[in-house]
Structures are given as structure tokens and as C-alpha cells.
Amino acid sequence: MTISIGSDHAGFEYKQKLIEFMIGKGIQVIDHGTDSDRSADYPDHVHPVARDVEEEEATFGVVLCGSGNGVAMTANKHQSIRAALCWNRELAELGRRHNNANVLALPARFISYDLAQELFEVFISTPFEGGRHLRRVLKMPVKC
């Protein structure tokens, strides 16, 4: 499994800890920064994550910022990305099970690191249920 990850300054600390955790679990990691807690613009670090997932260079993406909203909105600009903003276990599970989410967006200023790690584990281990949910997921992209 390969995970592409990116954050702004607000998500930097959690990003670093998540990377260490992933590597410890034998997960390949593509780190798109930011590389410090200095102010950074999240789109610069989220678009590369979304591209990695779109181009199947990564199995899943993880994006972090203070609220999680900016990174989720940015990732979801990509046609084949389904970023789920999660702050509890049920949202992470349902994002995968019902929506086939392929990017996990985390609000670093509103959850603990331990919860962020738990949400990541739930996200990557929950399969997409398919069935009636597949029909809905297939309707998500805008058809121009």
C-alpha cells in the first residue's frame, strides 16, 4: 500500500507523526509537504496528493489542515477524488463503506493525534460496500 500525504502548517505535526506511524507499519509514503510549521498554502500540498491518487501512484491520500475543510475542498476539485472530512470513527468508516472515499481529510486543530491515527487506520481498512452505493458514487463526477 502507498499513501500520498500533504498538509499545511496547521497539519504539519500530525503529518510527521502519521508518516512515522505508516512507515512503522510497512506502508510506502509519498510526502508532499509542507516541511515545517511555517505558514503554507494548503493547495500547494493537496493537489499533488490528489494527482497521486488519480494516477494510481498512491492507494489513498491523506490531507490535513486546521479545519480540514480547505484541504477537502481542494482535493475534491479533482474529478476522480472523493475526499471525506472526518473527525470521528463513524465518518471515516462510512466515507469508505458508502462513498468509496479515496482521500482522508483531517482537521488537525479539532482532533487529537491519537484520534487522527485511529481514523487513518479505520479509513484504510474499511472496504467499499458497493451495491446501491456504487450507483451513487458513479453519479458524483460532473459530466461535461
Q: Which residues are catalytic?
A: 98
Cis peptide before 74 (omega within 30 of 0): no
What is the helix (H) or strand (E) element at residue 135, kind and residue range? helix 132-138
Query: CB neighbours of 104 closer than 8 A, spacing ≥ 6?
Result: 60, 61, 62, 63, 83, 84, 86, 92, 95, 119, 120, 123
End-to-end C-alpha distance for the chain, whole angstroms: 33
Which residues in 42-74 are b (16+ Cβ under 10 Å) and which e? bbebbbbbbbbbeeeebebbbbbbbbbebbbbb
